Structure 1
Amino acid sequence: MTGRAPDAGMLRRGLRFGRARWPVLLRLAAWSVLEAGQTFLLGYALARALDEGFLAGRAGTGFGWLAVAGLGVPAGAYGTGRVYGAVAALVEPLRDRLVTHVVRRGVREADRGALSGLTQQVEIAREACAGLVMVARSFVFTAAGALAGLASLAPPLLLVVLPPLLAGVALFAAVLRPLARRQAAFLAADEALAGELGTVCAGLRDVTAAGAEERVAGDLTGRIEAELRAAHALARWGALRVTSLAVGGHLPVVLLLAAAPWLLRRGVTPGALVGALAYVTQSLLPALQNLVHGLGTSGARLTVVLRRLAPAASAPQPPTTPAPTVPQPPTAPPPQPPAAPASGRRRSRAPALVLSRVTFAYGPHSEPVLRDLDLTVPHGTHLAVVGPSGIGKSTLTALAAGLLPPRRGEVRVYGEPAPAARALRVLVPQEAYVFTGTLAENLAHLRQDSVPEEELCAAAEAVGAGALLEALGGPGARVDPAALSAGERQLIALARAYLSPAPLVLLDEATCHLDPRAEARAERALRERSGGTLVVVAHRISSARRADRVLVMDGRHTAYGGHEELLRRSALYRELVGAWEPGAGPAPPRSHPALALRDADGVDAVAGTGLAGDGRHVVAHRPVGQVQPPGDLGDGRPLGGQG
């Protein structure tokens, strides 16, 4: 019932629109009669030219009848020209009404689809409507002219031509509505797939980083299968449309040829038989082809567009409800953080991350970034990774996440190969990904189950995003990624990782836009997740002090151990710590800028090598987005095994 109601309403509005313009319709019919005169003369004059002229030995008479048929061509062309004018007078008011409605809806309701409606959908409706009027009018008057010509030549000809023609038209009329519904379903499925692909392609890096390939692939597979089913259904009904064309247009030709002896015995002249073939092949068949293809394609397009442009009054209005109250973060002790999945608990005795003699380079002839690296991160460990910029820290996290395949060696997450362990890890990159939707959808993106609002608020509060959640309007608030700062996007991504069931969390400078206190809070929350393991590419050396173990990456050699241990045996680590903590060890020469230039994220806006910070903030000496501790310059050397 719901699928037929819009069609019936649209048909009633179309009939009212036509009745209000009956003078235009009369003018259109009059010019169509003149155009149909050419159709009548085509077969009639040809039959007389044969019977009374050439077959009777009177060539002049034959040529005279052909000249009469020729005179019908300019008369028909004149009528066709006037037909286009009448069609324009009928269609342009429809376009004007649609434009008025779209503009009114865009202004009053702030409809975002108004621009598309003006530039595309209204023009589609205008062209489709004009095409429908033309093909329907052409078939009606062409068929009338051809059938009148057959009756004037010999009534028995109608007994051969009329039954299959009526059968073909009846079959097409029977499949027209189901065909239109299948065409609309196919267009809707195609648009849904295109919209889904546009969203996914724009966020491929983040989909991969979040380990959501299977979930996204499942959604896309559903869209693809839906379009495939719609295409198959459309093809089946399209075959019936072709069958109706064969029955109504091609079968009469076969029947005329097969019944020729019977017709000739009943007084049908050879000229009348040739004229009947001309009527069928030159008039009826083309008109039927235009009708079948025009109504089958333009009709479906017009139906879909008019549904979208239908007045809002025809659609039920949602009830007015008071604005929802903004949920407040819980003041009671928050619930326990999400536990690791059953698969993670079963693997809790296996190391969280193991790299075995891993070598990686970004090209077949490039110098390896990592060479024969061995690393074991036990379950429940908080590991910080530090080192000069460009030394391979982000590469290490990408290998651990299974985003990059090693040239040699093996990477395992809880005993499984990294590419197959997507459900066991979550990667938060430096440029946090937030999509358009509600806060709840963003926070629970990596959860398959429904997440209660209390748990969402507790997760946000745990990582330090509680104030942001409240400021934006609670979990149900809509999120515009462009309106968020880089730090706010990072807080949302950190809360999403906190809610993830994956036991291994990889932070690739995912807190670089947060101040030190907020960074410490987020890392502590992720470290204290039930059954969790945390690997952090450190943005500040304070991250290393909070970690259980520290991996120092320095070209061919690495150092691995606790903070105090590395201060004793790693010169690079002492240098990094000294740049942040005066008196902790040898530090590079300090250079103080004339003015203290700092931005809201606590980054000194001073470029250049060897410029130290103030012991608390970092100095930017690389391109934007690559902020590292002072003196943190890569020397391009490959990274080797643990030292």
Structure 2
Amino acid sequence: MTTDTPSRTPRLRTRGLRFLNRRRPVLARLAGWSLLEAGQTFLFGYALARALDQGFLAGDTAVGLGWLAAAAVAVAAGAYGTGRVFHAVSELVEPLRDGLVRRVVGRALVEADHGAVSRLTHQVEIARDTFAGLVMVSRSFVFTAAGALAGLASLAPALLLVVVPPLVLGLALFLVTLRPMARRQETFLVADEAVAQVLDATTAGLRDITAAGAESRTAAGADGRFDAEYRAARTLARWGVVRVLAVAVAGRLPVVLLLLTAPWLLRRGVTPGDLVGALTYLMYALVPALQSLMQALGTAGSRLTVVLRRLTDGGNGPSASRGAPPAGPSGAGALPGARAGAARGEAPSGSAGRERPAVELRGVTFAYGPHAEPVFRGLDLAVPAGGRLTVVGPSGIGKSTLTALVAGLLVPDEGEVLLHGEPVRAAAHLRTLVPQEAYVFSGALRDNLTYLCPDPPPDSAVLASARAVGAYDLLLRLGGLDAVVAPGRLSAGERQLIALARSHLAPVGVVLLDEATCHLDPAAEARAERAFAERPGTTLIVVAHRISSARRADRVLVMDGTHALCGTHDELIRRSALYRDLAGGWSQPAGALGDADGVHAVAGPGLAGDRGHVVAHGAVGQVQAVGDLGDARPLGGQ
């Protein structure tokens, strides 16, 4: 990833200045308490010099001890001031962290941002800790250096001629490394995010990676990310060597020069006590403060600049203008690199939206890995706006894969998927997907129901959606919209009702139910599906686990891994042996468990059409109408 560092740095600097300007009283308290540290530095070296010259070397032990006592008092006062400084620093650090967390969480709620976890759990904490360290170290260096230089000047101005030149040279060398270090640090952080992303996708899709035989390809991709991070770390380390050289010039060279020039200094009126005081300023004040400053600005400062830029700018994720919601957890049969989730947006309107299909697949080919058998090959499918399609077929045949392609969670190897004429990735705000394992997060029930809505809907709309899908009684039982829900205390069916109400409330035009009612009884399932079918401007695609869903649909797509037949329930009963087997297995005896459409709720065993499929044994080809295809003839010449 490339970044426009020169143009973004001034913007970051402006934000930083505004942040500090709003906290001027805190900065004033910080400076006030830091003056005690400057006084401690000045008095410590000066008192040692006077203790030697006027006390111990002059034979007056009492005077020497008196100066040492003054130095001890200065140390105690400085320690007290440092303690108070920590309170002031916390008043700067915690507001920064809170603001960054709000930015990251807000962006994650509206974007499909795979780097959000790394930003929230890693980069925000980096920013918090390094900012606190920078404030402490920078403040300490400024006031310590002021006290030390004032002390050297008060002892003997000639000492400044020896100490200041190498100090300035080392600082200049250090400043030269700042920009290259910042760039290398950003490269390292980008590589770290890439590693986190590939590990997240790989972990979510381990089962499918193994089933598709894609272990080698997946490992090679992960190795490439690790190698990139390793190379970035090595480059960063090389610049660190230059940083060490700058520390040596600015911190160690003045001590050496002071010792080498000691005879010359003594001939010019510098006393032994002055030399001891100067060494004290260097060894116990300037050198430690300088080393801390260079380390902080060099590594932590560069990292803070990069992290703040990535956290406060738009990043490299999708545009926030679409208002995409967070992805939910992977459901059953999770797909590699994808999470079952939903997006929100405006439903299409106008004549253009009515003329084109709501969902269209054109020549779609998809396989889970380069050596795996395609699940679909050259698949064409069109669902009209406002239509209602049910997808049925044996387990593992590719029904969930089809919904993932329509939702944009999977990218076809060939062909394209369109929603209302737009590529699915650009039109993700037009659809919502409800997976089998419904996502409910800990928090208020109102937030769970409304987070797919760009603007907070009125309570009346929320309650209407809950009533429509059959979740109103659950809402009352939980304590109303303001009740706090714990996902672990809800049954699978209750979680599905919440997810259904949430999607019914979302302003989208295409609704995908991937066995989203499998934990509900038949009557509840029928009520939920009818609620979506009766919602104005809604196109409904249902992956069914009960044949009753097919009887409620306008069209039914039946898949068996070789054929893909699309027609009405009555047409498929006449033309498809597999569909007859599925329908017969579900309908003996009719209505025994109270299904609203008079269909048995439990599948019969030993369906003739289900030959023990676990994965698709052949690619699903072009969908054709029932009347165009015989049962024994594969599509696409397969």
* TM-score, with structure 1 as normaliser: 0.55
- Supply the AA of the counterpart residue of 2:562: R
Q: Which residue of 2 aligns with 1:29?
A: 31
Distance 2:607 2:366 in 1: 37
Match of 2:254 among 252, 267, 273: 252
Match of 1:146 among 145, 148, 151: 148
Query: Map of 1:323-402 to 2, 5 A cutoff?
Result: 328=357
Distance 1:160 1:229 in 2: 41
- Supply the AA of the counterpart residue of 2:145: A
- Supply the AA of the counterpart residue of 1:285: V
Q: Which residue of 2 aligns with 1:536?
A: none
CA contact (8 A) 2:23 2:92 kept: yes
Q: 1:176 to 1:614 in 2, by over 3 A?
A: closer
- Whether 1:192 aligns to 2:194 is yes
Q: 1:605 to 1:22 in 2, by over 3 A?
A: closer
Q: Which residue of 1 aligns with 2:387?
A: none
Distance 1:8 1:472 in 2: 38
Q: Which residue of 1 aligns with 2:312?
A: 310
Match of 2:206 among 198, 204, 214: 204
CA contact (8 A) 2:44 2:75 kept: no
- Whether 1:482 aligns to 2:430 is no
Distance 1:191 1:330 in 2: 34
Over the residues paired in the alignment, what is the CA RMSD in angstroms? 5.5
Match of 1:280 among 278, 282, 292: 282
Q: Which runs of 5+ in 2 are unaligned?
A: 324-344, 377-394, 437-511, 517-542, 551-555, 566-576, 616-638
Tell me the secondary structure at the aligned position of residue 435 of structure 2: helix
Distance 1:290 1:338 in 2: 58
* 1:423 Cα offset (Å): 3.0
- Whether 1:524 aligns to 2:562 is yes
Q: 1:273 to 1:136 in 2, by over 3 A?
A: same
Identity of aligned residues (%): 50
- Whether 1:291 aligns to 2:293 is yes
* TM-score, with structure 2 as normaliser: 0.55
Q: 1:426 to 1:514 in 2, by over 3 A?
A: farther
Q: Which residue of 1 aligns with 2:415?
A: 452
Tell me the secondary structure at the aligned position of residue 328 of structure 1: coil
Question: Deviations along 1:345-374, whole A, 9 cap, x unmatched?
Answer: xxxxxxxxxxxxxxxxxxxxxxxxxxxxxx
Q: 1:202 to 1:272 in 2, by over 3 A?
A: same
* 1:330 Cα offset (Å): 11
Question: Deviations along 1:302-325, whole A, 9 cap, x unmatched?
Answer: 334433443779x99869999877
Question: Deviations along 1:71-130, whole A, 9 cap, x unmatched?
Answer: 1111112222332333344445555655776787789x6898999988876665444333
* 1:7 Cα offset (Å): 1.3
Q: Which residue of 2 aligns with 1:137?
A: 139
Distance 2:260 2:321 in 1: 64
Q: Which residue of 1 aligns with 2:222?
A: 220
Query: Map of 1:235-634 to 2, 5 A cutoff?
Result: 235-310=237-312, 328=357, 423=371, 425=373, 430=396, 434=401, 439=406, 445=412, 447=413, 451-453=414-416, 478=428, 480=433, 482=435, 522-525=560-563, 605=602, 613=605
Q: 1:136 to 1:219 in 2, by over 3 A?
A: same
Distance 2:76 2:366 in 1: 84
CA contact (8 A) 2:375 2:561 kept: no
CA contact (8 A) 1:28 1:83 kept: yes
CA contact (8 A) 1:435 1:480 kept: no
Q: Which residue of 2 aligns with 1:82?
A: 84
Question: Deviations along 1:391-419, whole A, 9 cap, x unmatched?
Answer: xxxxxxxxxx9xxxxxxxxxxxxxxxxxx
Q: 1:605 to 1:452 in 2, by over 3 A?
A: closer
* 1:154 Cα offset (Å): 2.1
CA contact (8 A) 1:604 1:613 kept: no
Tell me the secondary structure at the aligned position of residue 4 of structure 1: helix
Q: 1:424 to 1:70 in 2, by over 3 A?
A: closer
CA contact (8 A) 2:34 2:81 kept: yes
- Supply the AA of the counterpart residue of 2:190: A
Q: 1:161 to 1:114 in 2, by over 3 A?
A: same
* 1:69 Cα offset (Å): 1.0
* 1:210 Cα offset (Å): 2.4
Q: 1:164 to 1:436 in 2, by over 3 A?
A: farther
Distance 1:236 1:443 in 2: 41
Distance 1:210 1:257 in 2: 72
Distance 2:99 2:425 in 1: 41
Tell me the secondary structure at the aligned position of residue 270 of structure 2: coil
Q: 1:323 to 1:239 in 2, by over 3 A?
A: farther
Tell me the secondary structure at the aligned position of residue 229 of structure 1: helix
CA contact (8 A) 2:33 2:82 kept: yes
* 1:199 Cα offset (Å): 0.8
Match of 1:53 among 52, 55, 74: 55
Distance 1:227 1:17 in 2: 32
Distance 2:192 2:360 in 1: 47
Distance 2:258 2:221 in 1: 55
- Supply the AA of the counterpart residue of 1:430: G
* 1:436 Cα offset (Å): 10
Distance 1:424 1:308 in 2: 38
Match of 2:172 among 167, 170, 173: 170
Question: Deviations along 1:201-229, whole A, 9 cap, x unmatched?
Answer: 22123123224345434432332232123
Tell me the secondary structure at the aligned position of residue 57 of structure 1: coil
- Supply the AA of the counterpart residue of 1:3: T
CA contact (8 A) 2:26 2:91 kept: yes
- Supply the AA of the counterpart residue of 1:452: G
Distance 1:425 1:105 in 2: 38
Distance 2:266 2:258 in 1: 11
Question: Deviations along 1:447-479, whole A, 9 cap, x unmatched?
Answer: 3xxx233xx69xxxxxxxxxxx99999686658
- Whether 1:73 aligns to 2:78 is no
CA contact (8 A) 1:487 1:514 kept: no
* 1:142 Cα offset (Å): 0.5
Q: 1:175 to 1:615 in 2, by over 3 A?
A: closer
Give the paired residue count: 441
Distance 1:444 1:205 in 2: 19
* 1:55 Cα offset (Å): 2.8
Q: 1:201 to 1:57 in 2, by over 3 A?
A: same
| Structure with bigger gyration radius | 1
Tell me the secondary structure at the aligned position of residue 452 of structure 1: strand
- Supply the AA of the counterpart residue of 1:185: T
Tell me the secondary structure at the aligned position of residue 524 of structure 1: coil
Distance 1:185 1:257 in 2: 43
Q: Which residue of 1 aligns with 2:488?
A: none
Distance 2:15 2:299 in 1: 21
Q: 1:129 to 1:239 in 2, by over 3 A?
A: same
Q: Which residue of 2 aligns with 1:550?
A: none
Q: 1:206 to 1:20 in 2, by over 3 A?
A: closer
- Supply the AA of the counterpart residue of 2:415: P
* 1:263 Cα offset (Å): 2.7
